[in-house]
Amino acid sequence: MGLECLLVTSDPALLGEVHTSFAAHGTALDVRQDSASAIEFASRRHLDGLVIDCDDVRGGTEALVQLRNSPANKQSLIVAVVNGSTSADAALDLGANFVLSKPIQQARLRSVMDLAIPKMEREHRRYFRYDVDLPVKFQNPLKQSFSARMKNVSEGGLAIKLIDPVKLNGVVAVEFDLPSVQPQVFRGKGDVVWNDSFEMGLRFLYVEKDSGVALQAWLNSLEGQSRFREFIRQAH
**20-67, pLDDT tens digit by residue?**
998 888 888 999 999 999 999 887 778 889 999 999 999 999 999 999
What's the number of domains the chain is made of?
2
* First CA to last CA distance, the chain: 19
Of 77, 93, 127, the domain-final residue: 127
Residues 60, 141 within the same domain: no
Same domain, 139 and 61: no
Q: Is the peptide bond before 135 cis (omega within 30 degrees of 0)?
A: no
- Cα–Cα nearest to 116, from 32, 7, 195, 214: 7
pLDDT score recorded for residue 236: 66
Q: What is the mean pLDDT of residues 196-204?
A: 85
59: left (phi over 0), alpha (psi -120 to 50) or beta: left
pTM exceeds cut of 0.95: no
For residues 84 and 37, state if they share a domain.
yes
CATH of the domain at 226: 2.40.10.220
Instruction: Tell me: do 18 and 56 sit in the same domain.
Output: yes
End position of a domain, from candidates 98, 127, 156 = 127
The predicted structure's pLDDT at residue 43: 79
**The CATH number of the domain where 49 resides is what?**
3.40.50.2300
Specify whether 119 is located in the same domain as 148.
Answer: no
Q: Are residues 101 and 148 in the same domain?
A: no
- Statement to judge: residues 43 and 105 lie in one domain: yes
Residues 108-117 pLDDT 10s: 999 999 999 9
Q: Which residues of 33-70 are buried (b: 16+ CB within 10 A; e: fewer)?
A: ebbeebbebbeebbbbbbbbbbbbbeebbebbebbbeb
Domain that holds residue 210: 130-235
11 lies in the same domain as 109: yes
Q: Which residues contact 77 (CB under 8 A, 6 or more apart)?
A: 48, 49, 50, 97, 98, 116, 119, 120, 123
Residue 171: name the closest of 134, 136, 200, 214 by CA.
200
What's the pLDDT band for 129 if we cut at 50, 70, 90?
confident
Statement to judge: residues 121 and 157 lie in one domain? no
Question: Residue 36's pLDDT is what?
Answer: 94
Burial class (CB in 10 A: 0-12, 13-18, 19+), 230: exposed
Residues whose CB falls within 8 Å of the CB of residue 154, separated by 6 or more in sequence, listed in order: 126, 127, 128, 129, 130, 219
pLDDT at 233: 73
- Domain check: are 106 and 220 in the same one? no
Query: Cα angle at 116 between 111 and 121, to 5 degrees?
Result: 140
Domain end (from 107, 127, 147)? 127
Do residues 157 and 224 share a domain?
Answer: yes
Residues 88 and 147 in one domain: no
